[in-house]
């Protein structure tokens, strides 16, 4: 039973720059740089037939390539931080791609995502870091920016339960158009047989 999510890969240059931020935060479990990504939609554990349906439905998406700008750092966690991340600037192409995936997955009877979508790259999970530890780390690394890059595809990833986040495996990759959006309707009748994995 695969655990699935969709996402965008980041450029090698951005990955290298993000990897230089590792360290200096007590109680952090740092994500391996080869596992950096921008999650579009966490799907979760599904059976193989559902995974096939998801893979086929995502193949119907026709969207523009997405310009990615990583600018700034932040943390998640109310009261106790549980992750630090690099902020991805929202833009229309990114938000429309994420929104279309959300609609497709709901049409496949998967539960709606209740949390507001905040595009980001997770850098570390916080085990025992305090709010003060995280605030200090964020202050020490303030003003982080990486050069913009274009995401020319989105990916259906699978993951296995692990301590450090990853490894994430590319199950399917879907091109994004460099010529401009050509729509992106979802047609359940257009499913073809798909060998997942």
What are the extents of the domains in the chain?
A: 3-181
Return the closest-CA partner of residue 120 out of 94, 102, 99, 159. Answer: 94
- Does position 87 have pLDDT exceeding 50, yes or no? yes
Catalytic residue among 37, 82, 141, 194: 37
**In the prediction, which pLDDT does 179 show?**
52
Region 45-58: mean pLDDT is 96
- Does position 144 have pLDDT exceeding 70, yes or no? yes
pLDDT digits (tens, 9 = 90+) for 5-32: 999 999 999 999 999 999 999 999 999 9
pLDDT band at 124 (very low <50, low <70, confident <90, very high): very high
CATH architecture of the domain covering 3-181: Alpha-Beta Complex (3.90)
Region 154-164: mean pLDDT is 80
Rounded CA separation 172/156 (Å): 5
The CA distances from residue 183 to 39, 129, 141, in Å, are 22, 45, 40
Instruction: Kindly report the average pLDDT of the chain as a whole number.
Output: 88
- Are 105 and 191 spatial neighbours (Cβ–Cβ below 8 Å)? no
Let me know if 82 is a catalytic residue: no
Let me know if 120 is a catalytic residue: yes
């Amino acid at each position: 039973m695969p655990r699935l999510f969709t996402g965008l890969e980041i450029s090698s240059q951005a990955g290298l720059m993000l990897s230089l931020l590792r360290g200096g935060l007590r109680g952090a479990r740092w994500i391996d740089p080869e596992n950096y990504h921008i999650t579009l939609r966490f799907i979760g554990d599904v059976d193989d037939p559902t995974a096939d349906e998801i893979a086929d439905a995502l193949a119907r998406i026709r969207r523009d390539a997405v310009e990615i700008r990583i600018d700034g750092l932040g943390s998640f966690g109310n009261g106790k931080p549980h992750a630090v991340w690099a902020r991805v600037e929202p833009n229309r192409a990114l938000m429309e791609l994420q929104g279309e995936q959300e609609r497709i997955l709901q049409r496949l009877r998967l539960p709606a995502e209740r949390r507001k979508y905040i595009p980001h790259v997770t850098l570390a999970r916080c085990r025992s870091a305090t709010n003060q530890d995280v605030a200090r780390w964020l202050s020490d690394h303030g003003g982080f920016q990486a050069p913009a890059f274009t995401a020319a595809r989105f990916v259906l990833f699978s993951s296995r339960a692990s301590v450090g986040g990853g490894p994430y495996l590319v199950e399917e990759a879907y091109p994004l158009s460099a010529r401009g959006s050509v729509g992106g309707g979802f047609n359940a009748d257009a499913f073809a047989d798909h060998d997942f994995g």
